[in-house]
């Protein structure tokens, strides 16, 4: 997999996680992504804490939500690129192709 494909895959994963959580928020299913005392919504979408009470009704809330989704996509893309580069470095260090 090339570096661009890794970044696109990471950004897509970030977008899908954000869309899923927004769907749960929209249908008032907030506690669905909870395991024990861990809220997976905050693990999968760390910038979720930026959302305001009017996240879907006011212009400012919608813009903050869009910005939060973009930040999440960039975060996932960055993580994917770091993993890709790390795997390449390890592969070269061990002499594998």
Residue 32, pLDDT score = 87
pLDDT attached to residue 70: 97
Q: How far apart are CA 28 and CA 40, in angstroms?
A: 16
Mean pLDDT, each 10-residue run in order, the chain (97 residues): 95 96 91 89 91 90 96 97 96 85
What are the angstrom distances between the C-alpha of 59 and each of 3, 15, 67, 71?
Answer: 36, 21, 12, 18
pLDDT score of 97: 67
Q: Is the pTM of this model over 0.95?
A: no
How many domains is the chain built from? 1
> What range does the domain containing 12 cover?
3-94
């Amino acid at each position: 997999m090339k570096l661009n494909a890794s970044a696109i895959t990471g950004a897509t994963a970030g977008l899908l996680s954000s869309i899923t959580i927004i769907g749960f928020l929209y249908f008032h299913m907030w506690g669905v992504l909870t395991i024990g005392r861990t809220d997976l919504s905050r693990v999968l979408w760390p910038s979720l804490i930026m959302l305001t009470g009017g996240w879907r009704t006011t212009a400012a809330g919608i813009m903050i939500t869009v910005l939060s989704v973009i930040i999440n996509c960039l975060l996932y893309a960055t993580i994917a690129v770091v993993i890709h580069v790390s795997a390449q470095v390890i592969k070269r260090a061990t002499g594998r192709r």
